[in-house]
Chains A and B, each alone.
Chain A
Amino acid sequence: MSQGAIALENVTLTFGEGQNAVTALKSLSLTLRPGDFLSVLGPSGCGKSSLINTVAGFQKAQTGEVRVDGEPVSRPGPDRGVVFQQPTLFPWKLVRENVDFGLKFRNVPRPQRSQMIDDILQKVGLSEFGRHYPAQLSGGMQQRVGLARVLVNKPRVMLMDEPFSSLDAQTRLMMQELLLQVWTEYGMTVLFVTHDIDEAIFLGSRLAVLTRRPGRLKALFDITLPRPRTIDTLVSKDFVTLKRTCVDLLREEMVGIPASTDIRRRHPRGGHDQVLVESADLAAWETAHQPASAYEQNPR
């Protein structure tokens, strides 16, 4: 699968004008290779959703460019499937009609469409609910329909904006496993935004941490935890070490407290989870870790 490369180059996104202007993303550069599963972590309000919206084409960046497989993104399109935080099913359409929505605009013949809907509903375990309205389903089931509605179009790229955050813990784990299963099967590129550290590590093949607003890239890891990932992954030593790193990075952004230990020292290069801060941000990252900070020199 050689499709689904995403490249953000120097993207800056600002809302409003003058004094009320809020910069959501600042000079963000990020590259996703085809088939990557990139989890994006960041403090709340750091522009995580804006990142999704920009790649989806809902919002236009003031500067910089977003390209998918080399083509600049100018508007939303079915090559980039979006799963939102809240299920955004059409309440007036049956589950089947919701899933059919994208197929209809791709001129897929009707009998073939019907077969595709059957297949995908079975995959997400909702075969019996095709003739239900979304309001008749639970939140988890609605989100599964949302997933099916995107997957049925076999998008090269899937953009997911905290899609499981409103689900209970058990349903969430089930959805995460389902997502990994489909990702393994379809091999699409996934950009997955979340504020849940466990989720980010559990799912991703790479992990990006954003700074607080305006969002810039703070760190970029490879997550080489073995797959298939299971509940056991969540308690493995490597997982916990990674989690600790993320907690530190995020805490730094949330309250401005420097990380308690030098991350690079704990995770030397060449280790399973090397810190690959991109060169553009390396300087900023280094500055943040200057031992000049009185706090760091005299830790309690």
Chain B
Amino acid sequence: MYTPTLPIEDLASAEPSKCSVAANLDSVRRIGTRLVALAAFLGLWELASTNKIHFVVNFAHVPPPSVVAASAADFAQAPKSLRHIASSAQRVAIGFGLALLTAVPLGLLIGRSRLIEDMIMTPLEVLRPIPGVAWIPLAILMFPTAEQSMIFICFLGAIFPILLSTIHGVDSLDRRLIYAAQSLGAGTWPIFREVVLPGAMPSIVTGLTIGMGTCWFLVVTAEMISGQFGVGYFTWESYTMQKYPDIIVGMLVIGVLGMTSSALIRFLGKRLTPWQQNEER
């Protein structure tokens, strides 16, 4: 490879050290700013709650962060807590898993075959705009147990984002890649497995991320309506039992579970698309 040997190099080698020190200082300053901002937010909340401020928003019944922290510690030790978390996680996992197993093959087929697209997409287009929450009453009627209906709701939440992004991934696949595969002697099934599926994979991963978010949103809602365990149920029960600090504990747990599952999807996504690592960021 040709590398220019010009005085530019001296400039280039002189710059980085100065730059990296400045960059380090800058990042330390930014972390500091963030911590101060977080502390200020918690402080203001504490003040608003202890002084029972009532200006548009009523803080009279909002427990202060100090009380919430205590409740969170109790939650962490209570034997039932794990059961709540496990119930919700299990519903999401089963519903999401079923959606994944249905949506990806279906999306690949719809993306590749006009006939299947015409047969399947029309009823799906009718169902798609209906929010998952609107399904809850019917879901309860349709399934013998509350557990099954909640899993079904999760499934509904995840299936559309995954399906649509799979179809999009197949549609946006460079046609010439399929031509290239054909002219190298690949038949229909190898093209599906080795060209269409990996080609659509980045888009599928995006769909999984969105689907996982919808899944948590819906499981929490469904649990508030029916069920005896689950973080959504815990949060709603805390409201009805007037254990207000637990409402916020429940909210925080939902947040952490959502974050963890997105991180899991991101990890899975990176494993599924190793060739993209250099392109991203």
> How many residues in B have their beta carbons less than 8 Å from beta carbons of A?
23
B199 CB within 8 Å of chain A? yes
When A92-B199, A92-B275, A133-B278 are in contact, do A106 and B185 touch as well, CB less than 8 Å?
A: yes
Write the chain A residue with the least CB distance to B199: A92
Interface string of B264-281 (1 = CB under 8 A from A): 000000000111001100
Are A84 and B275 in contact, with the CB atoms below 8 A? no
Q: Is the interface of A mostly helix, strand, loop or mixed?
A: loop
The listed residue (A82, A92, A133) touching B183 by CB distance below 8 A is A82
**Chain B stretch 165-199: residues in CB contact (< 8 A) with chain A:** 174, 176-177, 179-187, 190, 194-195, 198-199
Q: Is the CB of B275 within 8 A of A76?
A: no
A77 to B187, CA, bound (A): 10
Q: Which residues of A contact B279 (CB under 8 A)?
A: 135
Q: Tell me the chain A residues, 76-116 only, with Cβ under 8 Å from chain B.
A: 76-78, 80-82, 84, 86, 88, 90-93, 101-102, 105-106
Is A176 positioned at the interface, with any CB of B under 8 Å from its CB? Answer: no
Q: Are the CB atoms of A105 and B186 closer together than 8 Å?
A: yes
Contact of B194 with A56 in the complex, beta carbons under 8 Å: no
Looking at the assembled complex, report how far the CB atom of B270 sits from the nearest CB atom of chain A, in whole angstroms. 13
Residue A269 lies at the interface, judged by CB distance under 8 Å to chain B? no
Give residues of chain B (58-99) contacting chain A, Cβ–Cβ below 8 Å: none
Are A90 and B195 neighbours in the complex by a CB distance under 8 Å?
yes
A56 adjacent to B275 (CB under 8 Å): no
Closest A residue by C-beta to B195: A90
Q: Please, how many angstroms separate the alpha-carbon atoms of A75 and B274 in the complex? A: 33
Task: Tell me if A84 and B176 are in contact (CB < 8 A).
Answer: yes
Question: In the complex, are the beta carbons of B176 and A105 less than 8 A apart?
Answer: no
A80 to B195, CA, bound (A): 20
Out of B174, B185, B195, name the residue touching A105 (CB < 8 Å): B185
| A149 contacts chain B at the CB level, 8 A cutoff | yes
Contact call B275/A133, Cβ cutoff below 8 A: yes
The total of chain A residues at the interface (CB under 8 A) is 28
Judged by a CB distance under 8 angstroms, whether A224 is at the interface is no
B103 at interface by CB-CB < 8 Å: no
A102 touches B184 (CB 8 A): yes
Complex CA–CA separation, A90 to B199 (angstroms): 8
- Chain B residue with Cβ nearest A153: B184
Distance between Cα atoms of A90 and B179 in the complex (Å): 12
Is residue B201 within 8 Å, beta carbon to beta carbon, of the partner chain?
A: yes
Q: Is A31 close to B, CB under 8 A?
A: no
Q: Say whether B184 contacts A78, CB under 8 Å.
A: yes
User: Does A186 reach chain B (CB closer than 8 Å)?
Assistant: no
Question: Is there contact, CB below 8 Å, between A84 and B185?
Answer: no
Q: What residues on A are CB-neighbors of B275 within 8 Å?
A: 91-93, 133-135
Decide if A77 touches B185 in the complex (CB within 8 Å): yes
Which residues of A approach B to under 8 Å, CB–CB? 56-58, 75-78, 80-82, 84, 86, 88, 90-93, 101-102, 105-106, 133-136, 149-150, 153
Give 19 CB contacts A-B under 8 Å. A77-B183, A77-B185, A78-B184, A82-B183, A84-B176, A84-B179, A86-B176, A88-B174, A88-B180, A90-B177, A90-B180, A90-B195, A90-B198, A92-B273, A93-B275, A101-B184, A105-B190, A133-B278, A135-B278
Q: Which 4 A-B pairs have the closest CB atoms?
A: A78-B185, A102-B184, A76-B182, A105-B185
